[in-house]
Amino acid sequence: MKTKSVYIHIPFCETICSYCDFCKVLYHKKWVDQYLEALEKEIKERYQQEEIDTIYIGGGTPSSLSMNQLTKLFQITNQFHKSDQVEFTIECNVEHITEEKLELFKKAGINRISYGVQTFHTNYLAYLNRHHTKEEVREKIELTKRYIPNINVDLMYAFQNETIEEVKEDIELFLALEIPHISTYSLIIESHTVLGIKEQYIDDGLDSNMYETICHDLKQHDFLHYEVSNFCKPGYQSKHNLTYWNNEHYYGFGMGASGYVNHIRYTNTRSINHYLLGHYDYQKEELTKQVEMENEMILGLRKLEGVSLSNFYQKYQKQVEEVFDIASLIKKGLLEVQNGYIKIPEDKIYLSNEVLVNFIGDV
């Protein structure tokens, strides 16, 4: 399997969000400059000159970098051999966006931007330690459309004390932005975060109702629900994220980045000191065929279309039913076969974890 996708992690943030458990450090100019040098060395050592179909720069907050630092970053990404149809995404905060940065993005080949908006409610923005305003989001999205119209926005829900009505208000405001992709996330309270110290999850029933409301309202406005948490206008699926869900190989460069190359899954160190010294690897695992087939199902069943039966056979020379006891899951109504795909029925997609657990370990 060829490696056609690249993830690059930029761990720097000007402030730390209260819910964030990603690999991140506070912005410091000296560290950023040194980090970019280390990143360039890692890519030169590991990149095998394949043609690349998708590049995703995530974080952290890549847009927190200065113009000079972003220019250096794009000089680094220029060494990739990009396909003619490459999807090139960068994550941004709206408060960092200027016309100058958008011009630089476009010149560098960026053709997709993902904004971490989360919510328009000021009380929940403060709860998350986010600092943009409703007016700023609208203004920067409109500015972005003039340069890069392929835009994703993140919508978060299930905050403590949040109501269905507030979720619906957020949905309306997100739809009013008239962008082609929306990613939705129920708030996850991680132990090593500010929220993890004291917060608790909301009631499962309310969380489920919020999810169903989002699904219903977005589909009413012609958004395709193509993955558990992702919705788009036709033709705007995230090609990069489909690499993950299709269990395909990809590079992970940068501190804390994960990759999957030559049947080896690896995760880089989360220590900035180790990374700057060139000690990249934290963990490596060569996957057996059985584990790769399990991953094929666990990742692929997140997609609403499910797992292609013919593709599964092409990759592993086995039929799905030879490897997994899917008959019992079909009998229980937790799986169905349709148009050559095995999938989770749409009305069960919120409970997908209860299905996916059946594909972990010996089956």
Q: pLDDT by residue (tens digit) across 42-51?
A: 999 999 999 9
| pLDDT given for residue 199 in this prediction | 54
**Can you point out the beta strands (E) in the chain?**
5-10, 12-13, 25-26, 51-59, 81-92, 112-118, 151-157, 181-186, 224-227, 230-232, 250-253, 258-261, 264-268, 281-286, 307-308, 336-338, 341-343
Q: What is the pLDDT of residue 22?
A: 52
pLDDT exceeds cutoff 60 at 193: no
In 3-state terms, what secondary structure has residue 255?
coil
3-state DSSP percent of the chain in helix, strand and coil, to 5: 40, 25, 35
Confidence check: pLDDT of 71 > 90: yes
Tens digits of residue pLDDT in 72-105: 999 999 999 999 999 999 999 999 999 999 999 9
Judge residue 194's burial from the number of C-beta atoms within 10 Å of its C-beta, 0-12 exposed, 13-18 middle, 19 or more buried. middle
331 pLDDT tier (thresholds 50, 70, 90): very high
Joined tokens for residue 50: 């394949």
Q: Which residue, among 18, 44, 69, has the nearest Cα to 251 in the 3D structure? A: 44
**Residue 68 in this model has a pLDDT that exceeds 70:** yes
Q: How far apart are the first and last CA of the chain?
A: 25
pTM of the model: 0.92
Q: What is the Cα–Cα distance from 344 to 302, expressed in whole angstroms? A: 8
| Confidence band of 351 (pLDDT split at 50, 70, 90) | confident
Question: Quick check: 228 and 242 in contact, CB under 8 A?
Answer: no
**Domains of the chain, with CATH numbers?**
5-244 (3.20.20.70), 306-363 (no CATH)
Tell me how far the alpha carbon of residue 100 is from its chain's centroid: 26
> Would the pLDDT of 151 be above 90?
yes
